[in-house]
Every structure is written in structure tokens, then in C-alpha cells.
Structure 1
Amino acid sequence: MAGGLAALLDDIAALAKIAAASVDDIGAAAGRASTKAVGVVIDDTAVTPRYVHGFTANRELPMIRKIATGSLRNKLVFILPAILLLSQFLPWLLTPILMVGGLYLSYEGAEKLYEYVTGHHKEKTATPAAAKGEDHEKTMVSGAIRTDFILSAEIMVIALNEVADEPLLNRAIILVVVALGITLLVYGMVALIVKMDDIGLSLAKRDSAAAQTVGRLLVKGMPKVLAVLSVVGVVAMLWVGGHILLVGVDDLGWHAPYELVHHLEEAVAGGLGALAGFVTWLVNTLSSAVIGLVVGAVVVAVMHLVPRRKKDAAAH
């Protein structure tokens, strides 16, 4: 009896060691996968604040909470099951689907630039966001969640590519960890950014002269920071959208565009030493943004010209 119990305990200990090693492996894989998606995380963090820009302070965190909940739902309910099934049975479909998302992001970024250039943006923002009511808030939250869907899809696909050799169950667990971790990181940072002016107000009321100075700087500076982030968010849409398309066509067999970008990287970064890595990234990013702008502009032109021609034909 004692021998049987000892053997059972040995088996349990062995299983515990295997489980611990498995958890360590999953944690390491999740960390690797998350690191690869850092670029998109930065884009997501830059894009989101523009959706709450202009609303009253008491609505900012509730809006961010709704967007974060929608983002997590995007990742866990829609994207995760879909990419797991596709990776298991139709892995070749992942790239074209991701490219459709890249096309949408490019269109969104180009559409915002079109609004700025044509003045439509000023007309739309003549009334403060806070004065437009609950329907406008819902519209902005829905728009943020739609945009997040594309960025989340890229994050999850990048993470999946890093763990493609893992068993299906491990892949699923790793992607859940990545989804939870990145959502907390992105929307925690977004909440901190948009509430920084409130932190500044709190500091400005303290007795310490240094705290008051920092607080006043935060209060004065954060509206400008949010305005800049709004612009960065538009640029990020073009950058991410263009990069998805650039990598996608390369994966599908048309290598010329990405080879041209690589040649540009080598030509510009050659002989720069420690700066070569940053310059290479900058060239790749700018190239992706240009591609996103060009492709997005074509879609915007089609979306605006086709309805106009139909109206002109109907008028005649």
C-alpha cells in the first residue's frame, strides 16, 4: 500500500514538473509572440486616443473601457477561433484576409487626410464632440472597435506565426495570453494618456512648488499631445495598412515591391553604424506609409467619384 502511494506521488510529481515546464514554455512563447507584435501595439495606442478627443473628462474612461471590452471581444470571440481554424485547415487564407484589413486601414487613413485637405473635417468638428450627444459617442466607440479589429487581427496573426509549430491547444492558450496582455497594455496606456491632464490638475493643487510646476505643464501640454496623437493615429493607419499590403504581396509571390524597399534600406543605412537599425526601420515605415497612402487614395477616389457620377447621371 505504502509502495503504491509512493509510486502515485512520484507520478503526480512528474506530471507537475511536466505541467510547470509546459507553463514556462507557453509563457516564453507568449512573450516572444507579443514582442513581435510591439510595432502594431504602438500603432493601436496612437490610434485610439483620437476617438475620445474632445469629449468631457467624465466620459473618457467609460469610452476607453467600452473600446477595450470590444477589443477583447474582437480578439477572443471572433479573431482567435477564426485564425486557429484557418491555421489548422486553410493556412493560405490568412494572408489574403489580413490584406483586406490592410486595405481598409489604408482607406481609413487616406479618408481622414482627404477630410483635412477638403475642409470636410472642419465642418464635421465645428460642434464639440461633447455636445453631440450619446449617439455620437456610440458612433466613435463603434469606429474605434472596427479599427481595432484590423489592428488586433494583425497582432494575433503575427503572434500565431511565432508559435505555428506548437500543438493546437498550446497555440490557443498562447494566443489567449497574448490577447489579454496586449489589450491591458494598450488600453492601460491609452487611459493614462487621456487622463494625464487630470493628473496634472491634481499635482497643480499640491503644496510643493515642483509638483505645481509639473502639474501646470501637464495641463497645458496634454491637449496638444492628444492633438498630435490624433495625427499620429492617422499616419499609423497608413503605415500599418501599407505594411500589411507590402508583406502580403510578398508572401503571395510578388516580391518586387518588398525587394525595392530592402534595396532602399541598404542604400540609405549603409555605413551608418549604430544608427543603421533605426534608419532601416524608418525607411521601411515611410515606404509602408506611402504605399498605404497611394492605395488608400485610390479607394477614396473610387468611393467618392462613383457616387458623384451616379448623381450626375441621375440629374441629366
Structure 2
Amino acid sequence: MAGGLIALLDDVTLIARKAAASSRDIAQAAATTSTKAAAVVVDDAAVTPSFVQGVSPARELPIIWRITKGSLVNKIIVILPVILLLSWLAPWALTPILMLGGTYLAFEGAEKIWHAISSRAARRGGDTVHHEPDDSTAASPDDEDSLVKGAVRTDFILSAEIMVLSLNELTGRGLPERAAILVGVALVITFVVYGVVGVLIKMDDVGLALADPSRERAEAVRRLGRGLVALMPRLLTTLSVVGTAAMLWVGGHILLVGTDDLGWHAPYAAVHHLEELVSSAGGAVQWLVETGCSAFIGLLVGSVVVALVTTVRRVAVRSR
């Protein structure tokens, strides 16, 4: 009897060890896979603070929390089942879907660049630039429901790209394992992105509190507070620039690999040939060449899409 109990305990211990190893493997895979969607993550973190501009500071974090919950619903409840079903029934559709996401990334990056160029040109010419209001920010800052809905709609597009990019890294794994890893990806990315956003939007409030002259504080603390207030606009601008560059790079890379997978090998082969030409200079130079080529392709494709979208918008406005 005692021997049977000991054998049972051994079996339970073995199962527990296997479960722990499996959990560690899933967690590690989720963390690794999350890095593949870095461009979209940076863009997500750069875009989200704009949704709470003009909102009372006391309501900023509650709104971010509501957007966080909406983002989790987007990723886990809506997007995850759809892409897993596609990967099971129509895996051939994932590459075109991924390329659509890459094209959207390229479009977003190129649109930001051309918008910045046109705005700067207009300022130099003394003109005032008028833009159509974005649906996600057109609502009154006091209308939290409208703000949250707009943010969650924008998040849906970015979340879809993140999840499809992540799924593309898991082609060799079984369906249950893919599902578990993607749930981990959704949780990690969502809480990291919106946690960072929460810190960013409150940092200037922290700086103002530290710099408050009505409170008795050391001058070094006040200087730190003033430094935080001055730093935040620059940090958000830098984050936006990095996000734009990353979107062009990742979008172009997705299009390069996708066209090669679909049978058009010339673009990918040309970039690979350039990498081989600089192979003697080291891996870092090869990476820069590949990244530069991908970003150029992303900018080129994105600019074409920007031109098409702009033309369609103008025709639609004239036809009203």
C-alpha cells in the first residue's frame, strides 16, 4: 500500500514537473514572440496618450484602464479565435493577411512622414493647414464612453497586426500550444503597452507636484520636477519618430518575405544579395542594410497607398 502511494506521488511529481516545464516554455515563447511585434507595440504606445489629451487628470488612469480591458477583449475574445480558425482551416490565408497588415503599417508610417513634410512646408509658406478630424479623437474630452470606444477601435487594428505577426512565429507548434502562447502574448503586450502609457501620461503631473513652489522641498527635487515636465513632450515626440521608423521597417520586411513566399522572389533576392555584398563588414552592417532596404520598401509602398487614399478622399469630397 505504502509502495503504491509512493509510486502515485512520484507520478504526480513527474506530471507537475512536466506541467511546470511546459508553462515555462509557453511563457518564454510568449515573451520571444511578443518582440516580433515591436513596431506595432511602439506605435500603440505612441498613439494611445492622444486619447486622454484634455481629460481631467483624475480620470486619465480610469480611462486607460477601460481601454486596456477593451484591448484584451479585442485580442483574446475577438481576434484570437478568428486567426486560430484560419490557421487550422486556411493556413494559406495567413500570408496575405500578414501582408495586408504590413501594407497598413507602411501606409501609417508613410502618412506620418508626408503629413510632417506638408505641415512644415505649409508653416514655411505661412499657410494654415486644415485636416479632417479623426473619428477616434473627434468626441468631446468629457465624453469618456466616446473616447474609450474610439481608442478601442484604433486598438483593434493594431491588435490584429500584433496577433497575426505573433501567430506567424508559431507555425511549428500545435493548436493548443499556439492558443496558450498567443494568450500570453496578448496579456504581456497589453499590460506592458498600457502600463507604459499610464506612466507616461502621469509623469508630467509627478513633475508638476515635485516642482510645486508652495511645498517645502529641496531645490534638487524641484529641478527634477521641472526636468520631467520639460522632458515629456520630447519623449513622446521621440517615441512617435521611433514608432514611425519601426512601422516602415517591419511593414517593408513583411512585404519582402510575403512576396517571396507567394512566388515573387526578385525583391527578396535583391536585398539578400546586398546583404552578402557587405557580409565581410559584419552582422551589424548586414542588419542595417536589410533594415534600410525594408524601410525603403515600406516607405515606397506606403507612399503609393497614401496617394491612392488621398485621391479617393478628394473624389469622395467632390462628389458630395
Q: CA deviation at 1:57?
A: 3.5
Of the structure 1 ranges 83-92 and 46-55, higher mean CA displacement relative to structure 2 is found in 46-55
- Structure 1 residues 16 and 179, CA gap change in structure 2 (3 angstroms): same
Q: Which residue of 1 aligns with 2:266?
A: 256
Of the structure 1 ranges 88-97 and 156-165, higher mean CA displacement relative to structure 2 is found in 156-165
Aligned partner letter, 1:133:
S
Q: CA deviation at 1:56?
A: 5.1
CA contact (8 A) 1:74 1:152 kept: yes
Q: CA deviation at 1:188?
A: 1.1
- The answer to whether residue 226 in structure 2 is matched with residue 216 in structure 1 is yes
Q: Which residue of 1 aligns with 2:297?
A: 291
Q: CA deviation at 1:201?
A: 1.8
CA contact (8 A) 1:47 1:229 kept: no
User: RMSD value over aligned CA atoms?
Assistant: 3.6
| C-alpha distance in structure 1 between counterparts of 2:85 and 2:278, whole Å | 41
| C-alpha distance in structure 2 between counterparts of 1:51 and 1:12, whole Å | 50
Q: How does 1:235-246 map to 2 (within 5 A)?
A: 235-246=245-256
| C-alpha distance in structure 1 between counterparts of 2:292 and 2:146, whole Å | 31
Q: Which residue of 2 aligns with 1:69?
A: 69
Of the structure 1 ranges 5-14 and 94-103, higher mean CA displacement relative to structure 2 is found in 5-14
- Structure 1 residues 106 and 145, CA gap change in structure 2 (3 angstroms): farther
Count matched residues: 308
Structure 2, unmatched stretches of 5+, are none
- Structure 1 residues 70 and 289, CA gap change in structure 2 (3 angstroms): farther
Helix, strand or coil at the partner of 1:222: helix
Q: Which residue of 2 aligns with 1:93?
A: 93
Q: CA deviation at 1:136?
A: 8.1
| C-alpha distance in structure 1 between counterparts of 2:208 and 2:54, whole Å | 18
Helix, strand or coil at the partner of 2:130: helix
- Structure 1 residues 75 and 297, CA gap change in structure 2 (3 angstroms): same
- Structure 1 residues 50 and 133, CA gap change in structure 2 (3 angstroms): closer
Q: How does 1:118-197 map to 2 (within 5 A)?
A: 122-124=129-131, 133-134=140-141, 141-142=148-149, 144-197=151-204
- Structure 1 residues 208 and 255, CA gap change in structure 2 (3 angstroms): farther
| C-alpha distance in structure 2 between counterparts of 1:259 and 1:47, whole Å | 35
| C-alpha distance in structure 2 between counterparts of 1:115 and 1:174, whole Å | 37
CA contact (8 A) 1:72 1:180 kept: yes
| C-alpha distance in structure 2 between counterparts of 1:310 and 1:212, whole Å | 53
TM-score by length of 1: 0.79
| C-alpha distance in structure 1 between counterparts of 2:266 and 2:55, whole Å | 45
Give the number of the structure whose residues are more often helix, by fraction.
Answer: 1
- Structure 1 residues 104 and 66, CA gap change in structure 2 (3 angstroms): farther
Q: CA deviation at 1:180?
A: 0.5
TM-score by length of 2: 0.78
| C-alpha distance in structure 2 between counterparts of 1:26 and 1:39, whole Å | 22
Q: Which residue of 1 aligns with 2:31?
A: 31
Of the structure 1 ranges 71-80 and 150-159, higher mean CA displacement relative to structure 2 is found in 150-159
Aligned partner letter, 2:163:
M
